[in-house]
A and B are shown apart, each in its own frame.
Chain A
Amino acid sequence: MSTDPDQTRIADLVGKNDVLLFMKGSPLFPQCGFSSRAVAILNHLGAEFDSVDVLQDQGIRQGIKQFSDWPTIPQLYVKGEFIGGSDIMMEMYESGELATLLEEQGLVKAD
């Protein structure tokens, strides 16, 4: 296991939040078009999610790319598993896979 404190913090965040989006900005004020699209998809599906603004934390901003071996942000994690970036989210949204995944895990808000 890594002893890098940023990797430990990221693993902790990913472990504690069922649906977690690492993004630029906040869900209300996304600072990048890709992050904005990721938030819109999760909101549209009624997902309960938490987010981490990587612009507020350089350690996480760099560390998350190593953690997932993925070079871009946003990044979505569901139940500790890396799902993908905004393009994969969009494809999974359009195919219905993302809705199914969230529903099966009971991660969609009740109306």
Chain B
Amino acid sequence: MMNVNRILIGGGINHPFGSPELTPSEEKEFRKGLVEKALNTLKCNVRD
């Protein structure tokens, strides 16, 4: 990725916010964890 200052590794190219091998409720928990991480990243101070 070019020019990106805050990067988070997701669940995979085909489902960045998903993990299809999990059950639906487990998958939503997994997604929630990733979103929390993403929001925390937005709160991080990134130095130039």
**Co-assembled chains A and B:** no
A residues neighboring B (CB under 8 Å): none
| Chain B residues proximal to chain A, CB less than 8 Å | none
